[in-house]
Structure 1
Amino acid sequence: MERLQAEDNFKYLRPLELFQQKNLVNICAPMVRYSKHAFRLLVRKYDCHLAFTPMIVSNCFVRSIKARDADFTTSYDDRPLIVQFAANNGYDFANAAEIVAPFSDGVDLNCGCPQRWAMSEGYGACLLKKPDLLCDMVKQARTRVGNEDFTVSVKIRIHKDIRETVDLCQKVEKMGVSFLTVHGRTKDQRCEPVDMEAVRTVKDSVSIPVVANGDIQSTKDANEVLDKTGVNGVMAARGILANPAMYAGYDETPVDCIKDWLDIALSTGTPFSCFHHHLIFMLEHVLTKSERSVFNSLMSTSAVLDFLRYNYDIS
């Protein structure tokens, strides 16, 4: 775990202040391998108000300094920041929250990951069927970190019966959860349309902020979600990977954003695979098919920089 560049005078709005002051809070989703320090710094330059870390497994994080160093790096200007954890008990979740509290603005409990490995370990979407355990985890984290400005949130998928989702959300609200993120699909759905009516129902059933997640690719999508659901925020994943400037109103990644990524990634020591993969996403709709074939096969930072300089005068 590393906090870079201490700067005590850096000013920013914390999550609850954002929900109070913004008509719609623009959020970068937790994405395994991708929503890491360098990428979070990039999207913050383009009207992303709040960013999440990738999901971190809490028991490894709590027990291993090596895991903390590998999974969590931040800096003074990487704020406001929510650290998302996978946890299956309140002790680990509360301990993890206590560890990151000095370096972040909140923790989020992943209750939506549908992957088999996560479900088999008691993480992610399986918690949707364990409301008592989920409530205890929220309560323990909320008690352990007493600072009311430090948020404890939950990210969920919906149940087939929306009444179960509403009941769950109202229970965790009573336990002190600060806000909810709702992915409008069930744990078994992948490509089906997001259920906006379900998201709206959750929003109308609680008094805390609600964030909508799922198929948000542009500011047009974000505004349509706001109109349909009345949510307080939107969370983008694939959309912001393909276009880190989407919240600033760009239809595709602008050249300046690509240049910013080069500067940020290289200055923060981003590993080549991560550096390259982000560019593959960003350039998907810019490169021709033959150019993509060449670019995607590049094996070094110098080769990537040469390609961009020669073909697009980007340096």
Structure 2
Amino acid sequence: MDEVMGPNDGIQPDNLYVTKQSREIVQQPQRNPVDLFHSGSVVKICAPMVRYSKLAFRTLVRKYNCDLCYTPMIVAVDFVSSVKARHSEFTTNQGDRPLIVQFAANEAQVLADAACIVSPFADGIDLNCGCPQRWALAEGYGACLINKPELVQEMVRQVRNQVENPMFSLSIKIRIHDDLKRTVDLCQKAEAAGVSWITVHGRNVDERHQPVHYDAIKIIKQSMSIPVVANGDMKSIKDVEAVHQITGTDGVMVARGLLANPAMFAGYEETPLKCVQDWVDIALEHGTPFTCFHHHLMYMLEKVTSKQEKRVFNVLSSTSAVLDYLRDNYGVQ
């Protein structure tokens, strides 16, 4: 483990706001993401997704009416302790705003340290209280925290006390309990501690592909004074509108729906070729690794390619082969 560093030690200019001319770190004016929830329209959010919600993809969805983006989940203790983790896990640029950095943490001071590190270069952090993966539960991260409301309260308080910028937001993303009263209690305690908004994935820890409990999200929304965001199984703008009507939430967060169609929030039923072209341009500009570049295209073309086409496209093994295929079959340059 590397030596613990000062707040911004080990963060390279390439990872933050830079100008091509001077290569200097440029700290952007802080925005208050909470203001989005006062705009009068449903806030459309790109979820934190392991491997996928990185800078290049965030750049793409922002072109198609995405209001707010999250980074993939970052383990806070590694981020605070390791220069290498900082350099590899957090990448942003001037256009990547408003931005929320999501952390996995189970100690208040560690989360506060991580928040202080990123606070000059993002608009807020989110504490992951919903990840159901075994490794996260074993480490005391993610969905473990919905059963520890006092710890969540303390984590929120420490971030509030130590991040100097009052506009810096702090949100939490949760799953629900079988006994919804426990979820409401958790949310109300988090609100009292100073959380900015709460995102609710409408399933319990053991549910994977079962229907989302939108009725539960509605009850939570009705119990809170701060904004609430609905998450789970929205695959079109019609789904977004329907969930908003059912739950009354202030925003919606989408993961797989945006992978399949990054232009979803702009009202497209399937990924338009213009969006495919935009992804190619953005990914090449950002130097996106081939596997990530290819996987995104596999998701984006899922609905517009035949089984035979998928068999060909999905086994392509180089950027040049993918570019040739897109040019020959779709006119994408």
Which whole-Å CA distance do the structure 1 matches of 2:286 and 2:191 have between them? 38
Letter paired with 2:116: E
Alignment match, 1:184 = 202
Alignment match, 1:15 = 33
Which whole-Å CA distance do the structure 1 matches of 2:27 and 2:245 have between them? 37
Mind listing any 5+ residue stretches in structure 2 that lack a counterpart?
1-10, 20-24
The one of 103, 110, 115 equivalent to 1:85 is 103
How far did residue 296 of structure 1 move? 0.7
Query: Is it true that 1:233 corresponds to 2:251 in the alignment?
Result: yes
Which whole-Å CA distance do the structure 2 matches of 1:12 and 1:190 have between them? 37
Distance 1:11 1:152, change over 3 A: closer
- Report 1:67-82 matches (<5 A): 67-82=85-100
Alignment match, 1:275 = 293
How far did residue 147 of structure 1 move? 1.9
CA contact 1:10–1:77 (8 Å) conserved in 2: no
Which whole-Å CA distance do the structure 1 matches of 2:318 and 2:74 have between them? 28
Match of 1:253, SS? coil
Which whole-Å CA distance do the structure 2 matches of 1:143 and 1:219 have between them? 39
Distance 1:103 1:10, change over 3 A: closer
Alignment match, 1:99 = 117
How far did residue 14 of structure 1 move? 3.5
Which whole-Å CA distance do the structure 2 matches of 1:207 and 1:248 have between them? 29
Alignment match, 2:274 = 256
Match of 1:165, SS? helix
Alignment match, 1:44 = 62
**Percent of matched pairs sharing the same residue:** 59
Match of 1:102, SS? coil
Which whole-Å CA distance do the structure 2 matches of 1:81 and 1:9 have between them? 13
Alignment match, 1:127 = 145
Alignment match, 1:216 = 234
Match of 2:34, SS? helix
After superposition, give the CA deviation of every residue in 1:209-246 in whole Å (9 maximum; x if it has no partner). Answer: 00000001111011111111110000000000000000
Extract structure 1 runs of 4+ deviating beyond 4 A. Answer: 6-13
Query: Is it true that 1:5 corresponds to 2:18 in the alignment?
Result: yes
After superposition, give the CA deviation of every residue in 1:192-212 in whole Å (9 maximum; x if it has no partner). Answer: 111111101110111000000
Letter paired with 1:172: A
| TM-score calculated relative to the size of structure 1 | 0.97
Mind listing any 5+ residue stretches in structure 1 that lack a counterpart?
none
The count of corresponding residues between Structure 1 and Structure 2 is 315
Alignment match, 1:115 = 133
Which whole-Å CA distance do the structure 2 matches of 1:113 and 1:10 have between them? 31
After superposition, give the CA deviation of every residue in 1:68-92 in whole Å (9 maximum; x if it has no partner). Answer: 1100000010000000000010011
Match of 1:284, SS? coil
Which whole-Å CA distance do the structure 2 matches of 1:255 and 1:294 have between them? 19
The one of 157, 174, 180 equivalent to 1:156 is 174
CA contact 1:29–1:235 (8 Å) conserved in 2: yes
| TM-score calculated relative to the size of structure 2 | 0.92
CA contact 1:242–1:284 (8 Å) conserved in 2: yes
Which whole-Å CA distance do the structure 2 matches of 1:50 and 1:107 have between them? 12
Which whole-Å CA distance do the structure 2 matches of 1:108 and 1:145 have between them? 14
Match of 1:74, SS? coil
How far did residue 263 of structure 1 move? 0.6
Query: Is it true that 1:147 corresponds to 2:160 in the alignment?
Result: no
CA contact 1:12–1:79 (8 Å) conserved in 2: no
Distance 1:9 1:142, change over 3 A: closer
Which whole-Å CA distance do the structure 2 matches of 1:5 and 1:266 have between them? 18
Letter paired with 1:145: V
Alignment match, 1:291 = 309
Alignment match, 2:79 = 61
Mean Cα displacement is larger for which, 132-141 or 71-80?
Answer: 132-141
Letter paired with 1:301: T
Match of 1:278, SS? helix
CA contact 2:17–2:26 (8 Å) conserved in 1: no
How far did residue 151 of structure 1 move? 0.4
Mean Cα displacement is larger for which, 298-307 or 2-11?
Answer: 2-11
RMSD value, Cα:
1.4
Letter paired with 1:3: L
The one of 188, 195, 200 equivalent to 2:218 is 200
